[in-house]
Amino acid sequence: MSNRSQAQLVSPLSQSDQVSESLQEKQLVDKGSIVLSQHSRQPKLNPALSHYNLGLALAKKGKLEEAINAYQQAIKIDSKLAKAYHNLGEILSQKEQWQEAIEAYQKAIDIDPKVSWSHNSLGNALFKLEKFQAAVKAYQDAIELNPKCSWSYNSLGDTLLRLNQWKEAVEVYQKAIELNPDFPWSYYNLGEVLAQLGKWDEAVIAYRKALKLESDLPKIYEKLGDALQQQMRLYAEEAINLYHQAIQQNHDDVELYHKALEIQPNNAELYLQLCQLLVIKNELDEAIIFYNMGLQADSAKSEISEKFDLMELGNACVKKGKLKEAIFFYQESLNNHPDNDFISWQLQNAIAIQNREFTYSLEMVEYLRLVEPQPLTLNTSERPVISIIIPVYNQIVHTYNCLRSLAETLDGSLPFEVIVMDDHSKDNTQEVLRKVSGIKSVFNEQNLGFIGSCNRGASLAKGEYLFFLNNDTVVMPNCFQELLNTFKQIPNAGLVGAKFLYPNGKLQEAGGIIWQDGSAWNYGRLDHPNKPEYCYLREVDYCSGAGIMIPTKLWREIGGFDVRYKPAYYEDTDLAFEVRKAGYKVLYQPLAKIVHFEGISSGKDVTKGVKKYQVVNHQKFIEKWQDVLKLHRPNAVEPHLERERPVQKRLLMIDACMLTPDQDSGSVTAFNLIKIFQSLNYKVTFAPDNLLYVEKYTEDLQRLGVECLYCSYVTSIQSHLEAYGSEYDVVYLARLEFTEKHIDNVRKFAPQAKIIYDTVDLHYLREEREAKLKNSFELSEKAMKTKERELALMAKADCTLVVSMMEKQMLERENPDLQNIEFFNMPRDIYGAAKGFEDRKNILFIGGFQHPPNVDAVLYFVQDVFPLIKQQVNDIKIFVIGSKAPEEILNLSSEDVIITGHVPDISEYFNNCKLSVAPLRYG
Amino acid 361: pLDDT: 55
**Tens of pLDDT along 488-511?**
999 899 999 999 998 877 899 999
Q: Which of 475, 534, 537, 479 is nearest to 508 (CA)?
A: 534
Confidence of residue 323 (pLDDT cuts 50, 70, 90): confident
CB of 426 within 8 A of CB of 394? yes
Neighbours of 27 (CB within 10 A): 11
Q: Lowest-pLDDT range, 100-109, 168-177, 422-431, 819-828?
A: 819-828
Residue 737 has pLDDT above 90, yes or no: yes
Q: Lowest-pLDDT range, 235-249, 269-283, 308-322, 829-843?
A: 308-322
Residue 897 has pLDDT above 90, yes or no: yes
Q: Using CB atoms within 10 A of its CB, is residue 897 exposed (0-12), middle (13-18) or buried (19+)? A: middle
Q: Lowest-pLDDT range, 128-142, 360-374, 668-682, 855-869?
A: 360-374
Rounded to an integer, what distance in angstroms lies between the CA atom of residue 290 and that of residue 301?
14
Q: Lowest-pLDDT range, 3-7, 194-198, 912-916?
A: 3-7
Q: Give 610's DSSP letter.
A: G
Pairing of strands 649-655, 507-509: unpaired
Q: Which amino acid is it at 703?
A: R
Rounded to an integer, what distance in angstroms lies between the CA atom of residue 872 and that of residue 865?
12
Q: Which of 170, 133, 165 is nearest to 153 (CA)?
A: 170
CB of 595 within 8 A of CB of 505? no
**Tens of pLDDT along 115-128?**
999 999 998 999 99
CB of 290 within 8 A of CB of 271? yes
Residue partners of 427: CB distance under 8 A and separation at least 6: 394, 395, 396
Residue 856 has pLDDT above 80, yes or no: yes
Amino acid 582: pLDDT: 97
- Name the H helices within 376-459: 396-409, 429-433, 449-459
Confidence of residue 838 (pLDDT cuts 50, 70, 90): confident
Residue 702 has pLDDT above 90, yes or no: yes
Mean pLDDT of 546-567: 95
Rounded to an integer, what distance in angstroms lies between the CA atom of residue 439 and that of residue 555?
22
Amino acid 537: pLDDT: 98
Q: 874 or 40: whose pLDDT is higher?
A: 874
Cα atoms found within 13 Å of the Cα of residue 87, Cβ hemisphere only: 33
Residue 329 has pLDDT above 70, yes or no: yes
**Tens of pLDDT along 160-206?**
988 999 899 899 889 889 999 999 998 999 988 888 888 888 888 99
Residue 22 has pLDDT above 50, yes or no: no
Share of the chain above pLDDT 70, in %: 89
Lay out the sheet containing 915-916: strands in order across: 897-901, 878-881, 843-846, 915-916
Residue partners of 693: CB distance under 8 A and separation at least 6: 658, 708, 710, 711
Rounded to an integer, what distance in angstroms lies between the CA atom of residue 679 and that of residue 672?
11
Nearest-Å Rg of the Cα atoms of the chain is 52
Neighbours of 348 (CB within 10 A): 18
Residue partners of 159: CB distance under 8 A and separation at least 6: 123, 127, 132, 135, 136, 139
CB of 158 within 8 A of CB of 11? yes
**Tens of pLDDT along 689-698?**
999 999 899 9
Amino acid 327: pLDDT: 83
Q: Which of 643, 602, 620, 426 is nearest to 515 (CA)?
A: 643
CA dihedral 130, 132, 134, 135 (to 10 degrees): 90
CB of 67 within 8 A of CB of 49? no
Amino acid 828: pLDDT: 74
**Domains located in the chain, CATH noted:** 6-163 (1.25.40.10), 173-249 (1.25.40.10), 264-368 (1.25.40.10), 378-642 (3.90.550.10), 647-829 (3.40.50.2000), 837-916 (no CATH)
Residue 680 has pLDDT above 60, yes or no: yes
pTM score > 0.75 for this model? no
Q: Which of 648, 649, 820, 642 is nearest to 730 (CA)?
A: 649
Highest mean pLDDT among 154-163, 320-329, 355-364: 154-163
Rounded to an integer, what distance in angstroms lies between the CA atom of residue 511 and that of residue 516?
17
Pairing of strands 465-469, 547-551: antiparallel
Confidence of residue 438 (pLDDT cuts 50, 70, 90): very high
Rounded to an integer, what distance in angstroms lies between the CA atom of residue 674 and that of residue 682?
9
Mean pLDDT of 829-852: 84
Annotate 628-663 with DSSP letters as a single string: HHTTSPPTTSSHHHHTTTT--EEEEEEESS---TTT
Amino acid 699: pLDDT: 95
CB of 440 within 8 A of CB of 520? no
Q: Lowest-pLDDT range, 49-58, 164-173, 201-210, 358-367?
A: 358-367
**Tens of pLDDT along 740-784?**
999 999 999 999 999 999 998 888 888 888 889 889 999 999 989
Mean pLDDT of 605-633: 78
Amino acid 332: pLDDT: 78
Q: 512 or 9: whose pLDDT is higher?
A: 512
Mean pLDDT of 2-9: 34
**Tens of pLDDT along 377-436?**
999 999 999 999 999 999 898 999 999 999 999 988 999 999 999 999 998 999 999 999
Confidence of residue 898 (pLDDT cuts 50, 70, 90): very high
Please give the mean pLDDT across all residues of the chain. 86
Q: Phi and psi of 842, rounded to 5°?
A: 75, 170
Amino acid 365: pLDDT: 60
